[in-house]
Amino acid sequence: MNVAKKQTALHLLDNITIIRNKYDEIAKITGENFNIFTVLHLESDEVRLHSRLIGELLNPKGSHNQKGLFLKLFISCLGLEELYTDEQIKNAQVIIEENIGGISDDYTKGGRIDLVIKFADNYEIVIENKIWAGDQPYQLARYFSHYPKATIVYLTPHGGKPSNESLGKITNESGSTNLTILDIKNVKCISYQNEIIKWLEACHKEVYKLPLVREVFSHYINVINKLTNKTNFHQMNDDISKLIIKDITYYKSANDLVNTFNIINEKLYADAQAILKGKFFKKYGEQFKIDYNKHFDNNLVFFTYKEYVFRLRLAEEDGISIWLAPDKKGSSLGVANDEAIIHFKNYFEPLKNSYNVVNNVNYTAWIISKHNFLNWDIENKFNLTNPDFVDTITDDIIEEIDLFINTFKEKAIKENIGIVFSSPFN
């Protein structure tokens, strides 16, 4: 980089720093950086935060003691106020994570519905809450089949539509399906950034004299703004964007800085991953028949059970994570009601205090290390420049993997279910 380019880049960085400092000061004054749901790592948890909290707020018998107020405001935001009387709203029943039976082999029955609001005369509202999870086969069609009079609500951060697969538009081997297909016209697609925010703000106004309830709304609105890119952080990005596009030299310098920053991050991640791989290979290479140069980025066969192969993997695209999924010949990874899934789900219970364990319909579970790079803030990512920090972190991850493997071995041996460990690569 020549002297002129360097001076331009430094001047751009100085101006960006001024903007950032301004918004840092705003965040300190407003207290925006503190959020109880963020502290508890619940921001993106569809079930433990969003479905449960929304369900509690919608419940006329909820602990907020506001009877049907919040539900009535929600129905109004959906544009359904003409369908329900005040009496129906007051006596409505809200069910969170309703189990409608095991998912059948052909995926046409069963499942677990995020939220169901039941009224007199059986005109239910069924809410499928999608933040990060993908659609399941026939998912909304199954719910509509179970509740044929219901309004089906599909809730996403930005108002996305359900997949054809979820609606039931799947052609099976015979060229048809035995399930009533749900038309997209009968699905009300809403978003956190529009309908949910408007609803929460309307509720917030109603409880200004109730400080504890009011602050729950304040914190939750803040979470939704983060989820949908509406915080001061994103306003700061707008200001920086305006600065960059003011001048072609700034624009070019920004491009150079982004490229350099990405190269730095990739090297930091790669160096940390190489250290982790070296430690993993040293400890488990012989046991798992690992060829470091050929196989390390592939899934490692952990054990076999009947016709299933379970794979242990260090997934680089997720920073650092470990997942175990069954692979049955002739099928995709994991089937929700297969005996292997049902049996091994309980193996993850003892690990929940040591890992972030994500249960998924397509996998036995997804184990995410507490040291997952991609979930770190910028300060922790910068710590990857410190060799002692990287050494400590990679040692911790090897201990996590040890706990994972030993927990499975102990339970499998105790239950004597006939699984075979340390299978060679295939």
Q: Which amino acid is present at 367?
A: I
pTM for the full predicted model: 0.59
Q: How far apart are CA 241 and CA 15, in angstroms?
A: 12
What angle (nearest 5°) sits at the alpha carbon of residue 414, between those of residues 410 and 417? 105
- Label residues 168-178 b or e (16+ Cβ within 10 Å = b): bebeeeeeebe
Please give the pLDDT value at position 196. 95
Q: Is 311 exposed, middle or buried (0-12, 13-18, 19+ CB in 10 A)?
A: middle
More confident call, 377 vs 113: 113
**pLDDT tens-place string over residues 185-221:** 889 999 998 999 999 999 999 998 999 999 999 999 9
Q: Is pLDDT of 353 > 70?
A: no
Sign of CA dihedral 405, 293, 319, 342: negative
More confident call, 363 vs 368: 368
What angle (nearest 5°) sits at the alpha carbon of residue 17, between those of residues 14 and 19? 115
102 to 98, 111, 113, 327, 336: CA distances (angstroms): 12, 6, 12, 21, 9
Per-residue pLDDT band for 228 (boundaries 50, 70, 90) equals: confident
Q: Which of 11-15, 332-336, 359-363, 402-406 has the lowest mean pLDDT?
A: 332-336
Please give the pLDDT value at position 345. 60
Please give the pLDDT value at position 420. 58
Sign of CA dihedral 341, 345, 348, 353: positive
Please give the pLDDT value at position 260. 87
Question: In 231-338, which residue ranges form alpha helices assigned H by DSSP?
Answer: 232-244, 248-284, 292-295
Cβ of 351: how many Cβ atoms within 10 Å?
17
